[in-house]
Structure 1
């Protein structure tokens, strides 16, 4: 359940920043930066903190190569779904959501990787050892 929640928060973080609907930080901030600049900056910093947490943990746990590998795995899964006619890529909105999903999988796995590795191998990371 913890891995699912980490992925879900990554998905919410990415989709809150940008998505093809009108309910995203990017669209809202461009429309209201003149009248609500302090709120735009505050919410931007909240999102930036979320990204820093996720990106730092992901880079430390799986690194850039692992990120590319997971993104390639998700990309080939989408390719297989497209090849078998299960998925169509005609909709620009669907493609945006698929991109958000793929990036959220990378960030969710990156944040959860230390936990998965510890459960599989029984070895703790140096950062995980309690004093």
Structure 2
């Protein structure tokens, strides 16, 4: 249940920032920044904090190489699904939602990886301490 919750929040973060509907920060901010600049900046900063939390945890947990590896596995899975005729990649709206799902999975895996590693190995991670 914990992984699903982390994935749901990552998906909400990405989808709130941009999605193919009109209900996203990018479109709202572009249309309203002149009249609602303080609210636009506030919402942008809240989204930025969410990205910092997820990206920092993901980079510390699996690193850039791990992120690329997860993206490669997801991309290859999509390639297989496309090649076998299970998905059609001609619809840009579907492709955008699919990208949001894949990117949110990368962030959720990065946020969850330390927990998985601890359960598999029995060793806890220790944060770096600056002296």
Offset, 1:75: 0.6
1:94-113 matches, cutoff 5 A: 94-113=94-113
| Aligned-residue RMSD, C-alpha | 0.6
Whether 1:114 aligns to 2:114 is yes
Q: Who is 1:18 aligned against?
A: 18
Paired with 1:122 and 1:40, the residues of 2 have a C-alpha distance of 45
Q: Who is 2:51 aligned against?
A: 51
Aligned length: 127
1:64-75 matches, cutoff 5 A: 64-75=64-75
Paired with 1:26 and 1:123, the residues of 2 have a C-alpha distance of 41
Offset, 1:111: 0.4
Gaps of 5+ in 2: none
Q: Who is 1:126 aligned against?
A: 126
TM-score, normalisation: structure 1:
0.95
Q: Which 4+ residue blocks in structure 1 deviate beyond 4 angstroms?
A: none
Q: Who is 2:81 aligned against?
A: 81
Paired with 1:54 and 1:84, the residues of 2 have a C-alpha distance of 33
Offset, 1:112: 0.5
Offset, 1:126: 1.3
TM-score, normalisation: structure 2:
0.95
